[in-house]
């Protein structure tokens, strides 16, 4: 397993230099234990509404040492976490982050989550992060990414549908699944076209 982890990690780039739709040059890279302060600062800067939609709490510090350890100490192929940031931005440079956790019950499935800073929503950051984690997960042998969101989070629901995830209701959450090997399931929506374009752009350097 250790040899396989090292092989997979060696094939994944340590940094991707890409552009957002508006031409902004950004950097995408995996988060590491050295990014503890960066992740904690990003959480504190989220609005109460964004914090509630992602973490189900509006106030308080839930990003403590235990959570940071869990987020940042995992390794492929069980866990991946990436960020996108603008290196020219003054103050906090982060735009968002996304991760997957491989299921202990089904190694072909992983839970996907993404957070985008309030001011950077609508810029294609979530779709960029989805495309990166899509390719990383696929290389790790994962076939399905599963995302959960609250039913009142209409923006997330629309984005998941528009990027080709099949949705259902589990009685408490909206559950959406992307089938990584079925690119034909990506719809001809703006978000779907963005995802397909990103996958085509990044797959030569990640697969």
Q: Give 121-180 pLDDT, tens digit per residue.
A: 999 999 999 999 999 999 999 999 999 988 888 899 999 999 999 998 877 889 999 999
Q: Are strands 16-19 and 25-30 parallel, antiparallel or unpaired?
A: antiparallel
Position 95 scores a pLDDT of 98
* pLDDT at residue 176 in the model: 96
Distance CA 61, CA 149 (A): 21
pLDDT band at residue 74 under the 50/70/90 scheme: confident
Could you tell me the sign of the dihedral formed by the alpha carbons of 179, 180, 186, 190, in that order? positive
Q: pLDDT tier at 33 (50, 70, 90 boundaries)?
A: very high
Q: What's the total number of domains in the chain?
A: 1
Q: Which pLDDT does position 10 carry in this prediction?
A: 62
* Phi/psi of residue 85, nearest 5 degrees: -140, 160
Residue range(s) defining the domain that contains residue 151: 2-206
CATH (domain of 139): 3.40.630.30
User: How much is the pLDDT for 11?
Assistant: 76
Q: How many CB atoms lie within 10 A of CB 127?
A: 26
Query: Which pLDDT does position 80 carry in this prediction?
Result: 96
């Amino acid at each position: 397993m250790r040899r396989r982890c090292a092989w997979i990690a060696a094939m994944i780039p340590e940094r991707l230099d890409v552009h957002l739709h508006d031409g902004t040059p950004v950097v995408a890279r995996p988060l590491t234990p050295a990014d503890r302060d960066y992740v904690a600062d990003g959480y504190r800067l989220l609005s109460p509404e964004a914090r509630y939609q992602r973490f189900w709490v509006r106030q308080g510090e839930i990003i403590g040492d235990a959570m940071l350890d869990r987020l940042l100490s995992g390794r492929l192929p069980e866990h991946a976490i990436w960020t996108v940031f603008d290196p020219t931005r003054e103050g906090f440079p982060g735009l968002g982050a996304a991760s997957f956790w491989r299921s202990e019950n089904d190694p072909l499935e992983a839970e996907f989550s993404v957070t985008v800073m309030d001011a950077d929503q609508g810029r294609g950051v979530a779709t960029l992060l989805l495309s990166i984690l899509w390719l990383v997960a696929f290389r790790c042998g994962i076939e399905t990414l599963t995302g959960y969101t609250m039913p009142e989070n209409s923006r997330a629901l629309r984005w998941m549908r528009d990027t080709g995830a099949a949705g259902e209701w589990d009685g408490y959450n909206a559950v959406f699944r992307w089938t990584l090997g079925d690119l034909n399931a990506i719809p001809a929506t703006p978000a779907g076209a963005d995802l397909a374009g990103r996958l085509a752009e990044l797959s030569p350097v990640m697969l």
